[in-house]
Amino acid sequence: MLGSQELVLAIGGTGAQGIPVVKALSSNSKYAVRVITRNAASTEAQMLSSIAGVEIFEGDSYDEATLRKAFDGVEYVFANTNGFAIGEKAEIYWGIRLYELAREFGVKHFLYAGLEYASKLGNFDPKYRTGHLDGKGKVVDYLKAQPVTPMPWSVLTSCLYIEGLSEILQPFPHPKEPGTMIFAVPLGEGKCPLIYLEDYGAYARWIFDTPNRSTGIELHVATEDIAWKDLAAAFTEVTGQKAVYQDISLDEYFALGIFPEPDAKIGYSSSPDDSTLFTYRENFSGFWNCWKDNLTKRDYDLLDEILPTRVKSVKEWMTKTKYDGKPAQVLKTFR
């Protein structure tokens, strides 16, 4: 770390979402980044440690004693807690605890990686209950109740990664029509937002670079809100391959095999006896109901202004990345 650099602590910095943030922050010498990870020898940690200005801090980010060491000398915090690993209850606890530690350690700016509070947006109709969204949404509400002095906070609220089109959202061949790909989700006529992760990293950088505008805001980011029939059409335009959207029921969705055990609990780092944990079926039913009913909204004019170079459509992303519908690994946890 150079003398003039400001130190950012990245929680979740080795993940699909954290890596582009760490890269964007370390892209010139303004910030140094300390990435906390359970395993300094992982492919992701090794890749990040080869970037100038990035240091790897080995330890568990859900452990108070470890965090107190990791916070030493830190001026900025980017926190993406992992609700899939720890469950909703622990995600609420650690989101708030990270804010409190940041205050205690005199951090200059706290950036929380938020998600939509689906239940609240859906007037607490249980059909929208989604553990991994609601947990972060509750932390965001907590942050909004905090002052912006002495420590400014910001929230960067995202959505499904567009890269997931090669993993959790990938198309599969039509069983009766060879050459046609099927994009199947329980989305009805709804539009689902997708975010290009490299742009996500750039928004995080903008938040730290532009405190006069980013302090005390929740920035909702996405590349595009897209109906799946338009996504299938974009795929055909870009690849020349025929594709269709299949609007499926939740039961059909969980039979696809995307989640090998739909009735297993989410929160593999928690005790399976924790009765607050959701099953994949419960969690992702609420999740798709939320997008199907268009509960959320983004301000694309604002995003264009903040990041004029942003990828503006799914089609543009498909062209840029030469997307072909083939599987690729996105989430660290899936590896």
Cα separation, 94 vs 97, in Å, equals 5
Task: Using the minimum distance from each CB to ligand NAP, give the nearer residue, 77 or 115.
Answer: 115
Task: Using the minimum distance from each CB to ligand NAP, give the nearer residue, 26 or 82.
Answer: 82
Task: Using the minimum distance from each CB to ligand NAP, give the nearer residue, 29 or 269.
Answer: 269
**Binding to ligand NAP by residue 12, rule CB under 6 A?**
yes
**Binding to ligand NAP by residue 214, rule CB under 6 A?**
no
- The CB-side HSE value for 76 (13 A sphere, CA atoms) comes to 25
Least Å from the CB of residue 75 to ligand NAP: 21
**Binding to ligand NAP by residue 160, rule CB under 6 A?**
yes
Applying CB under 6 A, the span of 33-41, 49-57, 144-152, 305-313 interacting with ligand NAP comes to: 33-41
Task: Using the minimum distance from each CB to ligand NAP, give the nearer residue, 244 or 277.
Answer: 277
Where residue 177 falls (left for φ over 0; alpha for ψ -120 to 50; beta otherwise) is beta
Q: Which of residues 46-75 bind ligand NAP (CB under 6 A)?
A: 61
Residue 64, Cβ neighbours under 10 Å: how many? 10
Cα separation, 177 vs 216, in Å, equals 52
Site string for ligand NAP, 266-285 (x = CB under 6 A): ---x----------------
Buried b (16+ CB within 10 A) or exposed e, 224-258: bbbebbbbbbbbeebbeeebbbbebeeeebbeeeb
**Binding to ligand NAP by residue 223, rule CB under 6 A?**
no
- The CB-side HSE value for 46 (13 A sphere, CA atoms) comes to 3
Q: Which residue has the tokens 């109709």?
A: 125
Applying CB under 6 A, the span of 141-149, 154-162, 217-225, 255-263 interacting with ligand NAP comes to: 154-162
Least Å from the CB of residue 161 to ligand NAP: 4
Instruction: List, in sequence order, every beta strand (DSSP E) within 13-152.
Output: 31-37, 54-58, 76-79, 109-114
**Binding to ligand NAP by residue 38, rule CB under 6 A?**
yes
**Binding to ligand NAP by residue 152, rule CB under 6 A?**
no
Cα separation, 127 vs 293, in Å, equals 11
Query: Is-contact 294 189, C-beta < 8 A?
Result: no
Q: Catalog residues that contact ligand NAP under the rule CB under 6 A.
A: 12, 14-18, 37-39, 42, 61, 80-85, 115, 132, 158, 160-161, 164, 269, 331-333
